[in-house]
Amino acid sequence: MTQSIRKKTPAGGPAANGVVDVLVPVALDHTYSYRVPRGTELRPGDVVCVPLGAREVTAVVWAENPDPDPRLHNRLKDIGGRIDVPALREELKSFVDWVANYTLSARGMVLRMTLRMGEHLGPERVRLGVRLVGPPPARMTAARHRVIAALSDRLLHGKSDAAKEAGVSVGVVDGLVDAGTLAVEVLPKPPAPPAPDPDFAPADFSPDQAKAAAILGGMAARGDFQVALLDGVTGSGKTEAYFEAVAEAVKRGRQVLILMPEIALTGQFLDRFAARFGVRPIEWHSELTPRTRARNWMQIASGEAHVVVGARSALFLPFADLGLIVMDEEHDQAYKQGDGVHYHARDMAVVRAHIARIPIVLASGTPSVESEVNARKGRYLRVPLPSRFGGQHMPQIEAIDLRREGPPRGRFISPVLAEAVRDAVERGEQALLFLNRRGYAPLTLCRACGHRFACNICDAWLVDHRFRQRLVCHHCGFSIPRPHQCPHCGAEESLAAVGPGVERLQEEAAHLFPDARTMVLSSDLITSIETMRSELNEIAEGRVDIIIGTQLVAKGHNFPRLNLVGVVDADLGLSNGDPRAAERTFQLLNQVIGRAGREQGRGVGFLQTHQPEHPVMKALVACDREAFYDNEIDLRERALYPPFGRLASLIVSAGDRPTAEGFARKLASLAPHDARVQVLGPAEAPLAVIKGRYRFRLLVKSARAVDLSGYVRDWLAGAPKTKGNLKLEVDIDPQSFL
Ligand code: ADP
Ligand code: ZN
């Protein structure tokens, strides 16, 4: 735009206060220009509503536009109005831009994660209450009686609460209002959450802990960008140590975000936090009610919320003054979001801390190889906690060689493990049998004709779920009732379950240990966070002898009487062609065995394996963490795998195979030449069909110095757009290769 054009007042000059560019939380990367109505002042970051097509949508002013194209000016629409919530800060806007650019996602989709706050965007709605003020109505019913009884204290009750208490519909309450028996009043706004008290109950630190806590506290007090890797085995007291950093940030009036991989498991954590700081933190995860979400969002944006504990999505919240990020179990896979915006919350948390110039603490007993390398190179400050708090020993680990000491045919618990479990239960201790497989059996086949039950629309076997009496596809949820007859050959009583799942293990445990109380913990048997928390409490209180669980039990919970962990199939995660298979197996098994012996006695872990000579098993048995990392880092460095190189996945899918394959080949042929970048594939994905969609993968591999996001963006800019049924997903830093 040239000066001369800009100075000209557009014909029929509108009564506008300039033009702003607005980012809308939909799948678009670019902003739209809108006119600012006279009398309205808007700045970047302001939350507004704007007309978009036929709808009114919530959006955010991204930039002032001092140079709007005058020819467009008359055709621009007006901003609908400013929404009365705090403006997004510049640092959050930069973060949204950064994440979108890095992950190749539409900026609008990233913005959406910061605005996704529940029932509506805006100040909390006024809530109405009722109070008993007048005489009973002329016409009385049993329901009306109950309402009057419930309100007999003549205090103000929430309207829906009053109805619930009396067991009637809101209509009954309204009827009493109309009759003059009850009066409606506005409920006072709920008070701001009380501030955590940094001096409420400081811990008595062990010398190691005191050292770690002083370093972390110092970081939080300085408040500059720095990454610490709080590196200590399970039970070493990492939580108490990072609470010191939280206390320092709170003392300075700044907000803290604590990220957890599995928010369902944080019941105990909330209590621990309250024991240390006197109040519970604010929670953020998908299971909150819309009203709670809306309230928490506002409190976070206004600065009334002091400490927030959340799942990965909490990273995008509009904190008023974030002063510290803590990420617990930083190595956990759950931090990677695998659909929509593909991002890894650990990496993005470090980016957010960098942009906001605040410290971040990554905590783990088995750091990701990425973080371990960063610590070894000095980019992250390693803060070690070398031993368990209170002098508890790490569990002693033994391998059981399934080739020589395996269980009888059709069984999965070896005699050595069974003996150990029996002893533990007799001593009044708990035992955990760990198997990372939901359901009863991963495969059902017909002994007469060999027919195997597979999903209709995925390239996967159906998993037998006996509790639910169905065969289920774990990829799309397709299921059929458990058949009694082979649909292929018609044979009866011919179907056989192949391989174990946790449900089958429970059957075996019930048979081997008839007097023990067993409980299965598996995500598909848990209906809500509440049931999950209550089952975990039951275990913690010792009302269960043998826990049979999937990886759900590996995380975040303390079972004081658990001293024995048996890993039923230690090889399970090793053979899936994933470059991180060894790392994941090491982390998972370490973590699950680390559940044992945390409070009394010596923990013991058993690994049932076909390959006791595998480096992962050897490192676990020898308790030699360094050996594992040395070996793994060496392999990655030689193969130029992350963090020594970069990876990106392109996944092409379509309703039919030739379309998907054709497009994937076309893409591959258009990849720009760059000597530092290797494009592998296309290859049919290991999960070749999901939900009826045929999938092909391209893997892009580059040296670390390459801007791989930029490379892929340039590549796709020159490629045909996906049309119709074709879909292309880009995953920068992929964690899954299925
Ligand atoms: P980690 O997070 O490293 O697995 P935790 O922080 O959960 O370890 O600590 C392990 C156990 O030790 C917990 O039961 C915790 O309450 C206890 N603990 C840790 N530090 C202290 C301390 N300074 N004083 C008393 N108990 C502590
Ligand atoms: Zn399926």
pLDDT, tens only, 418-445: 999 999 999 999 999 999 999 999 999 9
pLDDT at 502: 95
- Residue 235 near ligand 1, beta carbon < 6 Å: yes
Element (H, E) at 678: strand 677-690
Query: 123 pLDDT band (50/70/90 cuts)?
Result: low
Q: Tell me the CA–centroid distance for residue 238 and ligand 1, in Å.
A: 7
pLDDT at 6: 36
Looking at the CA of 460, which ligand is closest? 2
Peptide bond into 643 cis (omega under 30): yes
Instruction: List beta partners, residue 379.
Output: none
CA 331/CA 344 separation, integer angstroms: 11
CA 535/CA 557 separation, integer angstroms: 12
CA 690/CA 591 separation, integer angstroms: 31
pLDDT at 12: 36
**pLDDT tens digits for range 168-224:** 999 999 999 999 999 988 888 777 889 999 999 999 999 999 999 999 999 999 999
pLDDT at 118: 55
Secondary structure (3-state) at 471? strand
Sheet holding 677-690, edge to edge: 677-690, 693-703, 645-654, 727-732
Pick the range with the lowest mean pLDDT from 149-158, 297-306, 423-432, 440-449.
149-158
Element (H, E) at 56: strand 55-64
Structure tokens at 393: 């020993």
With 60 as the cut, is the pLDDT of residue 235 above it? yes
* Beta carbons of 649 and 730 less than 8 angstroms apart: yes
pLDDT at 5: 33
pLDDT at 663: 96
CA 28/CA 62 separation, integer angstroms: 14
Residue type, 141: T
Distances (CA, A) of 267 to 85, 289, 535, 724: 30, 17, 11, 45
Atom of ligand 1 nearest to the CA of 272: 16
- Residue 209 near ligand 1, beta carbon < 6 Å: yes
Structure tokens at 202: 């400081």
Residue partners of 638: CB distance under 8 A and separation at least 6 = none
CA 59/CA 115 separation, integer angstroms: 9
* Beta carbons of 453 and 471 less than 8 angstroms apart: yes
pLDDT at 13: 40
Query: 10 pLDDT band (50/70/90 cuts)?
Result: very low
Give, as residue ranges, everything with CB less than 5 Å from ion ligand 2: 455, 458, 473, 475-476, 478
| Ligand 1 mutation target, pool 211, 234, 239, most atoms within 8 A of CB | 239
**pLDDT tens digits for range 474-501:** 888 899 999 999 999 999 999 999 999 9
pLDDT at 15: 47
Stated pTM of the model: 0.87
- Residue 364 near ligand 1, beta carbon < 6 Å: no
CA 248/CA 222 separation, integer angstroms: 9
Peptide bond into 682 cis (omega under 30): yes
pLDDT at 529: 75
Residue partners of 410: CB distance under 8 A and separation at least 6 = none
Pick the range with the lowest mean pLDDT from 51-60, 372-381, 647-656.
51-60
CA 194/CA 465 separation, integer angstroms: 46
- Residue with CA at minimum distance from ligand 1 atom 23: 205
Secondary structure (3-state) at 500? coil
**How does the average pLDDT of the chain come out, rounded?**
90
With 50 as the cut, is the pLDDT of residue 291 above it? yes
Average pLDDT, stretch 216-233?
A: 97
Average pLDDT, stretch 699-719?
A: 96
- Residue 25 near ligand 1, beta carbon < 6 Å: no
Percentage of the residues of the chain whose pLDDT score is greater than 70 = 96
Atom of ligand 1 nearest to the CA of 205: 23
Atom of ligand 1 nearest to the CA of 239: 6
Sheet holding 182-186, edge to edge: 157-158, 128-132, 182-186
Secondary structure (3-state) at 308? strand
CA-nearest of 653, 593, 659 to 621 is 593
Give Cα 435 distance to the centre of its chain: 21
Burial of 419 (0-12, 13-18, 19+ CB in 10 A): exposed
pLDDT at 14: 44
pLDDT at 278: 97
* Beta carbons of 464 and 439 less than 8 angstroms apart: yes
Pick the range with the lowest mean pLDDT from 211-220, 322-331, 423-432, 599-608.
599-608
pLDDT at 264: 67
Strands (E), 427-473: 430-434, 443-446, 463-465, 470-472
pLDDT at 556: 60
Residue with the two structure tokens 């939909």: 26
CA 659/CA 601 separation, integer angstroms: 61
Distances (CA, A) of 713 to 107, 171, 649, 731, 735: 14, 57, 13, 12, 20
Query: 7 pLDDT band (50/70/90 cuts)?
Result: very low
- Residue 273 near ligand 1, beta carbon < 6 Å: no
pLDDT at 11: 38
Give Cα 695 distance to the centre of its chain: 25
Sheet holding 381-385, edge to edge: 282-284, 307-310, 255-259, 322-327, 359-364, 226-232, 381-385
Element (H, E) at 560: none
- Residue 108 near ligand 1, beta carbon < 6 Å: no
Q: CA 63, 69, 74, 76 torsion: positive or negative?
A: negative
